[in-house]
Structure 1
Amino acid sequence: MIDQKSVEILQIIEANGRLDSEKIAKLVDLSVEEVNQSIKELEQKNVILSYSAVIDWAKLPVQEAVTATIDVKVAPKRGVGFDEVAERIYRFPEVRALYLMSGAYDLSVVVEGKTMQETARFVSERLSTIDSVLSTTTHFQLKTYKHDGVIFKEPDTDKRIVVSP
C-alpha cells in the first residue's frame, strides 16, 4: 500500500524529476533518508518506471523525428481481449506509446520515424498486416504546443519602450 507521503513524492518527481532528495524532503516534511527509501521502494514496485526529460528538438540543428498518432480498430480475441494484439504492437521499436481507448477506435498508437515515408511504411507493412487489425487512421504531428504539461513557447519578452528623463 502506498501512503500519502509517497503520493506527494510521486507528484513532485512527476513535475520535476531533477529535484534532489533534500528539496523533496523539505516539501513533504520528511527526512532525506525517508525520501530516498520511499523512492527506492517505488522504483522496486515498478510504480516509478522511468525518468525522462521533455526536449524541444525543433530548437536543435538535428533532423527532427516524425511523430504520428495512429487510431487502430482491432478485433479482440476471445479470452485475451485487446492485450495480445497490444503486446504485439508495443514490441515494435517505432512505437513510443500505446493506449486502449474508448470511442470509434480501440487503440491509439504513437509512432516515431525519421521520415513520413518511414512511418507510412511501418503502418502499411507492419501494423496493418497484423491479423486482428481491422483498420488504421494515421495523423501526423505537425507542431508541438504542449507536451507532458510543458508549454513549448519562447518566454515573452518585455515589449515596453524604455523611457528615461
Structure 2
Amino acid sequence: MEWFADNGWLAWVGLALILGAIEAASVDFFFLMLAGGSLAGAVAAALGAGLAAQVVVAVAVALVLVLAVRPLVKRRFTIAPDTTIGAGAYIGRAALVTETVTTTSGLVKLAGETWTARTGAGQPAIPAGQEVRVVSIEGATAVVADAAERREGF
C-alpha cells in the first residue's frame, strides 16, 4: 500500500486507460472526457497534492470537459444525415400529375417513376397535367403541393 501512496499518479493513469478503453467501445466522447479528468488527477498526484485535492482536480477538469469540450467535439464528429440519396432526395423536386391528386389518392411522375401521391390536409385537388412540388415522402407516397402555390408562398 505504501507504493500506491508514493505513486498515486499511476492509479489515475490506470483509471484513464480503463476509461479510454470504454470510450473506444462507446464512441460517445463522454468517457474520453472522464479520462481527461483522470489524467488531471494524475498530474495533481505527481505534483504532490493530497488525495482530496487530486479528486477535486479530477472532478473539476472532467466537468469542464464534459460541459464545454464534449459538445464541440460531438458537433465536429457527428455526421449529418445524407438526404441526397433515397426518398429524402425527392423532397422539393418537381413532379407531373398523371392522375388527379386529392388528399387521399393520386399519381405523379417523379424522377421518371410513377409514385402514389396525395395533397396535404385541407388542400384542393390537383388535376392531371399540372406541375407539383414534393413536400414530403411518407412511406411510398409523395405528399405534394401545387408548384404555383409554393412559389407564391416564398
Same fold (TM over 0.5): no
TM-score normalised per structure 2: 0.24
TM-score normalised per structure 1: 0.23
Structure with the greater alpha carbon radius of gyration: 2
Q: Quick one: higher RCO (CA 8 Å, sep 6+), 1 or 2?
A: 1
From the two aligned structures, give the one with the greater helix fraction: 2
